[in-house]
């Protein structure tokens, strides 16, 4: 049913002749560690004068324009941008395609200081009451310097609404990052919204957490995120807690620049929230905010999961930053405490897939759980569980820290496919029962899928996806 992949429900009794593609060999009962060999080279940030960081012409021209969903159901959009020299206007002018009537929404601006850096004027404006599945144009700026963009709103929420999400994590702003974003933009699957699993600019990898890198990252990603919403997850590189620099407010640059509609889902903080989009219910969690029992995030998730109506939004997707299942030696077990707290809920409510970043490589798990383990019973090996999510680590955007290459050996039984390469993913919902996931490595052509899987919905069609990778 997918490129380079055969679905089957019987035993592994397939004769394969001359169809080995790229990286994988045939396995029946164990996962695949890709044998793809890439040229080893360091990840290097692009220089400040790169064209992808170009400042738009004109005095006080709006820059770093980005959008995200602005309410719970997809009928609002948050538009954000920066004016570098003075506040200018916080108004957004917008209109549907082919409409002669224009509308205006009013936002506000803020600034922040971080050590020796002072931000530009960061504007946020929510456009409300948008029509579903409609192309809108919008303008920001004032005087002689305005900039025009467009976006398309989501289709109405419903059980069989097809929709395609891109998956990007740990992007940074290196030459590899540019390849990842270009591959995503050129994908024939045509993603409509990016699910971003954390770690944005990597400014904190530079001396004094150089916040100029936040500005360059905003200009770099504008070519995509000004035209389609990116759904944000906070990663560890967004924390920016540095008492030695006098910075004791975590997440300050990130939360100043990237706003999300957390209030619309009853959240008390912008680091965990939910949205509906087409036929998907998306829950964003924070790996770096408290999630122990009775904390605000714990209480919110406990109340949120029962609200998901799978007859309305069949696909339940969770975004975190730190993976719960990870067979690389990088960040190994860092997601374990969150797994202990929430894995039983994910099984109870039939979460379809959990996307994570943090580990700078790609890995897809089987449907497994370690839910039975209670410290004393010794049942500490993950076991097959058809009611569990698939866990996909996709922290392979291309950042300055480079690839995670050291894997645990032998490959754990829960790991279905892993490869240390930069790339991006696509999750294409077809209807209430089936969705198609694919992963593209940067070294391949835009349409080449290095790994893929047809997903069966946990609520409507909870059969185990059995595949042969070739």
As a dihedral over the C-alpha atoms of residue 320, residue 323, residue 325, residue 326, rounded to 10 degrees, the angle is 160
DSSP single-letter state for residue 2: B
The per-residue DSSP string of 156-175 comes to PP-TT--EEEEEE-S--SBH
Q: How far is CA 70 from CA 85, 130, 345, in A?
A: 27, 10, 27
DSSP single-letter state for residue 56: P
Q: Is 331 assigned a catalytic role?
A: yes
Question: Of 297, 285, 181, 193, whose CA–CA distance to 235 is shortest?
Answer: 285
245 Cβ contact list (under 8 Å, min separation 6): 114, 115, 208, 209
- With beta carbons less than 8 A apart as the criterion, state whether 186 and 424 touch: no
Alpha helices, H only, 204-275: 212-225, 252-257
The residue behind tokens 């694919």 is 438
- With beta carbons less than 8 A apart as the criterion, state whether 60 and 86 touch: yes
Alpha helices, H only, 260-363: 296-304, 336-348
At 333, list the tokens: 């077990």
What burial class does residue 51 get, using C-beta atoms within 10 Å of its C-beta: 0-12 exposed, 13-18 middle, 19+ buried?
exposed
End-to-end CA distance of the chain: 13
Catalytic residue of the set 72, 124, 237, 331? 331
- With beta carbons less than 8 A apart as the criterion, state whether 146 and 243 touch: no
Sheet holding 135-142, edge to edge: 103-106, 91-96, 135-142, 145-152
DSSP single-letter state for residue 204: G
Task: List residues with catalytic annotation.
Answer: 331
């Amino acid at each position: 049913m997918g490129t380079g992949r055969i679905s089957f429900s019987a035993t592994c009794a397939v004769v394969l002749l001359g169809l080995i593609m790229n990286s994988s060999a045939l396995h029946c009962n164990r996962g695949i560690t890709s044998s793809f060999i890439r040229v080893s080279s360091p990840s290097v940030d692009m220089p400040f004068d790169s064209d992808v960081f170009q400042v738009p012409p004109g005095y006080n021209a709006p820059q770093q324009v980005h959008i995200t969903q602005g309410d719970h159901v997809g009928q609002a959009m948050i538009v954000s941008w920066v004016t570098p020299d003075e506040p200018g206007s916080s108004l957004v002018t917008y209109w549907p395609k082919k409409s002669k009537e224009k509308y205006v929404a009013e936002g506000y601006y803020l600034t922040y200081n971080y050590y020796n850096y002072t931000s530009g004027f960061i504007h946020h404006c929510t456009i409300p009451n948008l029509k579903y599945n409609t192309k809108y144009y919008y303008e920001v700026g004032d005087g002689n310097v305005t900039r025009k963009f467009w976006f398309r709103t989501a289709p109405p929420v419903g059980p069989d609404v097809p929709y395609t999400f891109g998956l990007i994590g740990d992007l940074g702003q290196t030459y590899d990052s540019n390849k990842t974003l270009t591959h995503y933009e050129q994908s024939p699957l045509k993603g409509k919204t990016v699910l971003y699993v954390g770690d944005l600019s990597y400014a904190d990898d530079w001396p004094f957490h150089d916040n100029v890198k936040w500005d360059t990252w905003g200009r770099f990603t504008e070519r995509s995120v000004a035209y389609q919403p990116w759904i944000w997850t906070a990663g560890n590189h967004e924390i920016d807690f540095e008492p030695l620099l006098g910075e004791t407010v975590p997440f300050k640059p990130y939360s100043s620049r990237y706003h999300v509609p957390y209030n619309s889902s009853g959240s008390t903080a912008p680091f965990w929230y939910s949205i509906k989009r087409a036929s998907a219910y998306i829950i964003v969690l924070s790996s770096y905010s408290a999630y122990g029992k009775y904390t605000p995030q714990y209480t919110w998730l406990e109340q949120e999961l029962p609200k998901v109506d799978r007859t309305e939004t069949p696909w339940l997707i969770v975004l975190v930053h730190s993976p719960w299942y990870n067979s690389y030696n990088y960040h190994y077990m860092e997601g374990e405490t969150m797994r202990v707290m929430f894995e039983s809920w994910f099984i109870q409510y039939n979460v379809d897939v959990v996307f994570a970043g943090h580990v700078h490589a790609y890995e897809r798990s089987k449907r497994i759980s370690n839910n039975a383990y209670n410290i004393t019973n010794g049942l500490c090996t993950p076991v097959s569980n058809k009611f569990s999510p698939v866990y996909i680590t996709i922290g392979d955007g291309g950042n300055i820290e480079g690839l995670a290459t050291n894997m645990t050996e032998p490959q754990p039984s829960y790991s279905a496919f892993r490869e240390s390469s930069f790339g991006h993913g696509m999750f294409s919902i077809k209807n209430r029962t089936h969705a198609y996931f694919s992963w593209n490595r940067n070294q391949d052509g835009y349409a080449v899928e290095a790994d893929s899987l047809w997903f069966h919905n946990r609520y409507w069609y909870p059969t185990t996806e059995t595949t042969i990778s070739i």
